[in-house]
Amino acid sequence: MADMQERLRGLPGVDTLLQSQAAEAMALAHGREATVNALRLALAEARAVILQGGVAPDADAILAAASHLAEQALQPTLRPVINATGVILHTNLGRAPLSAAVVAAMRHVAEGYSNLEYDLDEGRRGSRYVHAESLVCRLTGAEAALVVNNNAGAVLLALSALARDAEVVISRGQLVEIGGGFRIPDVMAQSGAKLVEVGTTNRTYARDYEAAISERTVALMRVHTSNFRIQGFTFQPTTADLAELAHSHGLLLLDDLGSGTLLDTAHYGLPHEPTVQESLAAGADLVTFSGDKLLGGPQAGLLVGRAAVIQRLREHPLTRALRVDKATLAGVQANLTHYVRMEAESEIPIWRMMSLTPERIAVEAQNVLDGLGNMAAGCELIPGQSMIGGGSLPEESLPTILLALPSSDADAIAATLRRGDPPVVARIQDGRVVLDLRTVAPEEVCYLARRLEQVLSPSR
Ligand SMILES: *Cc1c(COP(=O)(O)O)cnc(C)c1O
- pLDDT, tens digit, for every residue of 98-132? 999 999 999 999 999 999 999 999 999 999 988 99
What DSSP state is assigned to residue 214? -
Rounded Cα distance between 333 and 106, Å, is: 10
Condensed to tens digits (0 to 9), the pLDDT of residues 327-354 reads 999 999 999 999 999 999 999 999 999 9
Could you tell which of 170, 290, 299, 392 is best to mutate to test the pocket of ligand 1, judged by most ligand atoms within 8 Å of the CB? Answer: 290
Residue 230: pLDDT band (50, 70, 90) is confident
296 alpha carbon to ligand 1 midpoint, in Å? Answer: 14
For residue 134, give the nearest of 347, 329, 342 by alpha carbon.
329
Ligand 1, atom 6: closest residue by C-alpha: 151
pLDDT the model gives residue 2: 74
Average pLDDT over every residue of 228-239: 81
Distance of CA 223 to the CA centre of its chain: 20
Instruction: Please state the atom number of ligand 1 nearest to the C-alpha of residue 153.
Output: 9
Tell the burial category of 401 from Cβ atoms under 10 Å away from its Cβ (0-12, 13-18, 19+): buried
Ligand 1, atom 12: closest residue by C-alpha: 258
For residue 345, give the nearest of 99, 82, 89, 84 by alpha carbon.
99
What lines the ligand 1 site, CB under 6 Å?
Answer: 150-152, 155, 178, 182, 223-224, 226, 256, 258-259, 290, 301, 391
Going from the C-alpha of 101 to that of each of 109, 136, 191, 326, the distances in angstroms are 12, 18, 37, 16
Q: How much is the mean pLDDT over the chain?
A: 93
Could you tell which of 90, 221, 256 is best to mutate to test the pocket of ligand 1, judged by most ligand atoms within 8 Å of the CB? Answer: 256
Taking the whole predicted model, whether its pTM rises above 0.85 is answered as: yes
Q: How many CB atoms lie within 10 A of CB 141?
A: 13
Condensed to tens digits (0 to 9), the pLDDT of residues 72-94 reads 988 999 999 999 999 999 999 99
pLDDT the model gives residue 391: 65
Instruction: Please state the atom number of ligand 1 nearest to the C-alpha of residue 152.
Output: 9
Report the b/e string of 287-305 with b at 16+ CB within 10 A.
Answer: bbbbbbbbbbbbbbbbbbb
CB distance 309 to 252 below 8 Å: yes
pLDDT the model gives residue 201: 79
Condensed to tens digits (0 to 9), the pLDDT of residues 263-303 reads 999 999 998 989 999 999 999 999 999 999 999 999 999 99
**How many residues are there in the chain?**
460
Going from the C-alpha of 343 to that of each of 116, 224, 351, 355, the distances in angstroms are 27, 27, 10, 13
pLDDT the model gives residue 458: 75
Could you tell which of 95, 170, 174, 182 is best to mutate to test the pocket of ligand 1, judged by most ligand atoms within 8 Å of the CB? Answer: 182
What DSSP state is assigned to residue 238? -
Condensed to tens digits (0 to 9), the pLDDT of residues 175-203 reads 877 766 778 888 888 999 999 999 887 88
Q: Is the pLDDT of residue 174 over 80?
A: yes
Task: Name, in order, each residue with C-beta under 8 angstroms of 7's C-beta and a sequence gap of 6 or more.
Answer: 50, 55, 56
Condensed to tens digits (0 to 9), the pLDDT of residues 7-56 reads 899 999 999 999 999 999 999 999 999 999 999 999 999 999 999 999 88
Residue 392: pLDDT band (50, 70, 90) is low
Rounded Cα distance between 88 and 44, Å, is: 44
Instruction: Please state the atom number of ligand 1 nearest to the C-alpha of residue 154.
Output: 9
Peptide bond preceding 422 in cis form (omega within 30 of 0)? yes
